[in-house]
Amino acid sequence: MTELMTLKKDYAGRDFLSLLDYSTEDLQYFLQVADYLKAEHKAGRPTPYLQGKTMGLIFEKSSTRTRVSFETGIYYLGGQGLFLSSNDLQIGRGEPIKDTARVLSRFLNGMMIRTFSHDIVTELAEYADIPVINGLTDLLHPCQVLADLQTIREHKGELAGLKMVFVGDGNNMAHSIMNGGARMGMHVVCACPEGYLPDPEIVAAAKAAAELTGGSVEVMQDPLIACQDADVIYTDVWASMGQEGEKAEREAVFAGVYQVNDAVMSVAKPDAMVLHCLPAHRGEEITEEVFESHPEIFDEAENRLYAQMAVMALLLQDAE
């Protein structure tokens, strides 16, 4: 058996709630470990960093990529994953989050939660004695953007200096793209309609982070101006999970303008990447033609596996 890469102990026992909780150097190391795990997996070599460890996967929001990538990643790391639906937990019947956190800490080595309110994740992390990973909240989606950064680096070589534009709702994806891009010295622009702009506090924090790395963060409303000379264009559905009742209202605001289409691509760089966290609603936020001509979207989906494996391996390792 090939000798395993020795992981830095700096991250043992930490939570992964926001990309801004980690420095530029930290995120670069996460990406280095993700690349290593991907190469080892492609070569058929085992990476049992979670041997004998258990990971609880709490889902209050349903998922395809998050569930499959986490369960598969735990398996490849030699650990045991437990799918925990809110319908199956007492949390779904009113048990306080802090009690759930303290009980599960006695059984598990780590937890991932995919939920609605970000306050649930922060409370879980506050009371848990084991690492908590944010698998998605309405505010942030850090695991997705770590995979996005891995994908961009694979295709572009470097991250610093690249222009990344998000087109659409100023949602959890826009927030984490700003956070991750700022940390990596990228120039991030979010093109969002009035009334659907990113959270001002998130924007301010991302701008402060960008000042330290030579990057920048900007919010505007015109996608064609925003996408001028873009290296990466990113989009997401207009109505996220839990916003289905706003679908018609949102379509009236977004349709025909906040869409990644030929017009948007024509002002970007000729080799611009297109990314989408999926699932995609073709004909709404992205056209069928643009979607099908950018296979890197599925590289991005695949990299959820390796980025999250890196997070789990680093956080759940023994401190000594």
Which residues participate in catalysis according to the annotation?
A: 114, 141, 144, 236, 277, 304
Q: Give the DSSP H/E element, type plus range, for residue 112.
A: strand 110-114
3-class secondary-structure state, position 61:
coil
Cα–Cα nearest to 111, from 93, 91, 96, 125? 125
CA 125 to CA 148: how far, in whole Å?
24
Token pair recorded at residue 282: 């073709």
Identify the CA nearest to 310 among candidates 148, 178, 147, 180.
Answer: 147
What's the token pair of residue 87?
Answer: 């319908």
Cβ neighbours of 36 (radius 10 Å)? 18
Contact 92, 120 (CB under 8 A): no
HSE value, Cβ hemisphere, 13 Å, CA-based, for 241:
19
* SS3 assignment, position 167: strand
- Torsion angle of C-alpha atoms 13, 18, 21, 25, degrees rounded to 10: 90
